[in-house]
């Protein structure tokens, strides 16, 4: 019987999570096939990650591109079904909570292929988030659930998941961060962008912040109040700029929109900042390890461990400026708690679980 393990990736957050798992399984001699669905498809959103992180070039690129949630998920499912029929994998590994993740979970489960969910059990309990739906469906179908935090284990237990399926392994994205820590050159990116003095990084893309015109106007006002205190740098894809520009987002001398950056450049930018304003999930984790104050502009987070064991706090548009003022009034912390098992060895623990499940 084939012992082929197929990794399904598709969007920018997947790649730093997959890199240490691919490397650890390669060290154990496991036959692997890396699939890139093409959900994120331009250079700064996908290809540059493979080059910078030393990830092997994908064996298969499905090239599904963008589209509505339904169209994109359906396109990935159709292509993966054909691929799985042809290659007959012994196991499928999926990452995170993007549309490619749930698509692979649905196809693998219907075809009777064992599959593993890396980053299982995260919950925001906010069903307006497409990612929350993806997480719930993927975890319900998973044969092996690999968690990054103790709270994720508890969520799965509360949902009635078989404890034998759950493995607390730590966070493979932090493996990638720690491995590349010396390559995050804050001064180089500061020089490249001609940044002087304190600056704040922002990453904003959630529907709750940028879809509704009224929300966008409120966001613009809140971010202008932040820019009154320090320069704000926000990497933003050109396709996502129009609505913010129409609402006057750039009508502030200290609001700086730049194109998306590669992984190393973005992490260098974050490392040198005084704070990050974000609605992203992964950034909450990265700032937790880097010791950068993180202000998460959301009513909830599926990563509460970044608050209890890190530098993250939830904020609103109404109190954002005041929270930034508090951060700027004090020095960056010299020490801070970090979550258990976020130690750079999650990939190895994941490989141990996978090889045990695969058997001889």
pLDDT in tens, 61-79: 998 776 778 888 999 999 9
* pLDDT for 70: 87
Mean pLDDT of 29-45: 76
* Confidence category of residue 263, pLDDT binned at 50, 70, 90: very high
Closest CA to 317 of 287, 295, 286, 293: 295
CB of 284 within 8 A of CB of 294?
Answer: yes
CB of 166 within 8 A of CB of 156?
Answer: yes
Q: What pTM does this model have? A: 0.94
| Rounded distance between C-alpha atoms, residue 321 and residue 232, angstroms | 12
Residues 81, 86, 90, 94, CA torsion sign: negative
Pairing status of strand 199-203 against strand 166-168:
unpaired
8-state DSSP, 164: G
* Confidence category of residue 10, pLDDT binned at 50, 70, 90: confident
Mean pLDDT of 303-319: 96
CB of 235 within 8 A of CB of 261?
Answer: yes
7 catalytic residue (yes or no) = no
| Rounded distance between C-alpha atoms, residue 72 and residue 80, angstroms | 12
Mean pLDDT of 98-118: 97
* pLDDT for 11: 81
> Which residue is catalytic, options 40, 69, 205, 252?
205
In the chain, which ranges are continuous DSSP H helix?
14-27, 47-53, 69-87, 99-110, 130-141, 150-158, 172-179, 186-192, 207-210, 213-227, 241-246, 263-271, 282-290, 305-308, 320-328, 346-358
- For the chain, list the domains and their CATH numbers: 5-171+342-358 (3.40.50.2000), 184-328 (3.40.50.2000)
- The pair of structure tokens assigned to 101 is 């993740």
Mean pLDDT of 284-295: 97
State phi, psi for 250 to the nearest 5 degrees. Answer: -90, 5
The gap from C-alpha 31 to its chain's centroid, in whole angstroms, comes to: 26
3-state secondary structure at position 251 = coil
Residues 92, 97, 99, 103, CA torsion sign: positive
| Least confident segment among 81-90, 140-149, 246-255, 347-356 | 246-255
- The pair of structure tokens assigned to 151 is 């709270």
Of residues 276 and 62, more confidently modeled: 276
Q: With a cut of 50, say whether residue 60 has pLDDT above it.
A: yes
Q: Tell me: the pLDDT tens digits for 148-163?
A: 999 999 999 999 999 9
- The pair of structure tokens assigned to 311 is 């530098």
* Confidence category of residue 46, pLDDT binned at 50, 70, 90: low
* pLDDT for 43: 46
* pLDDT for 97: 95
Mean pLDDT of 287-305: 97
Mean pLDDT of 311-337: 95
Of residues 49 and 104, more confidently modeled: 104
Alpha-carbon distances of 273 from 195, 196, 241, 260, 328, rounded to whole Å: 10, 11, 22, 17, 11
* Confidence category of residue 44, pLDDT binned at 50, 70, 90: very low
Mean pLDDT of 18-45: 84
* pLDDT for 41: 47
* pLDDT for 69: 82
3-state secondary structure at position 258 = strand
| Rounded distance between C-alpha atoms, residue 260 and residue 240, angstroms | 11
| Least confident segment among 16-20, 89-93, 224-228, 331-335 | 331-335
Of residues 238 and 128, more confidently modeled: 128
Strand order in the sheet with 231-235: 255-258, 231-235, 199-203, 275-278, 294-296, 312-314
Alpha-carbon distances of 218 from 39, 215, 318, rounded to whole Å: 30, 5, 9
β-bridge mates for residue 32, sequence order: 5
- How high does pLDDT run on average in the chain? 92
* pLDDT for 252: 96
* Confidence category of residue 13, pLDDT binned at 50, 70, 90: confident
242 CB-side CA count, 13 A: 2
């Amino acid at each position: 019987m084939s012992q082929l393990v197929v990794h399904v990736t598709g969007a920018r957050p997947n790649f730093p999570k997959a890199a240490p798992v691919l490397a650890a399984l390669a060290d154990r001699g496991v036959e692997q096939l890396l699939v890139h669905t093409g959900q994120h498809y331009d250079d700064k959103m996908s290809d540059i990650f493979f080059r910078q992180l030393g990830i092997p070039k994908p064996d298969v690129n499905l090239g599904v591109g963008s589209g509505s949630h339904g169209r994109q998920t359906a396109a990935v499912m159709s292509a993966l079904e054909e691929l799985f029929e042809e290659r007959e994998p012994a196991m499928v590994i999926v990452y995170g909570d993007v549309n490619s993740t749930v698509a692979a979970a649905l196809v693998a489960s219907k075809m009777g292929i064992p599959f593993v969910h890396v980053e299982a059990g995260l919950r925001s309990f906010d069903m307006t988030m497409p990612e929350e739906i993806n997480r719930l469906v993927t975890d319900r179908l998973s044969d092996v659930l690999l968690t990054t935090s103790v709270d994720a284990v508890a969520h799965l237990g509360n949902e009635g998941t078989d404890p034998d399926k759950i493995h607390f392994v730590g966070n493979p994205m932090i493996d990638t961060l720690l491995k590349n820590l010396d390559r995050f050159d804050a001064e180089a990116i500061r020089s490249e962008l001609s940044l002087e003095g304190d600056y704040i990084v922002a990453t904003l893309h959630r529907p709750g912040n940028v879809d509704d015109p009224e929300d966008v106007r409120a966001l613009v006002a809140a971010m202008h109040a932040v820019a009154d205190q320090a320069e704000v740098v926000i990497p933003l894809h050109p396709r996502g700029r129009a609505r913010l520009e129409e609402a006057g987002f750039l009508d502030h001398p200290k609001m700086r929109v730049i194109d998306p950056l590669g992984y190393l450049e973005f992490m260098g930018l974050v490392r040198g900042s005084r704070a990050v304003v974000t609605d992203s999930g992964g950034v909450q984790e990265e700032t937790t390890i880097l010791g950068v104050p993180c202000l998460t502009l959301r009513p909830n987070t599926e990563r509460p461990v970044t608050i209890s064991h890190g530098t993250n706090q939830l904020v609103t548009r109404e109190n954002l400026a005041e929270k930034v003022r508090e951060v700027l009034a004090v020095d960056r912390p010299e020490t801070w708690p970090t979550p258990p098992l976020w130690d750079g060895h999650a990939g190895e623990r994941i490989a141990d679980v996978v090889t045990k499940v695969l058997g001889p």
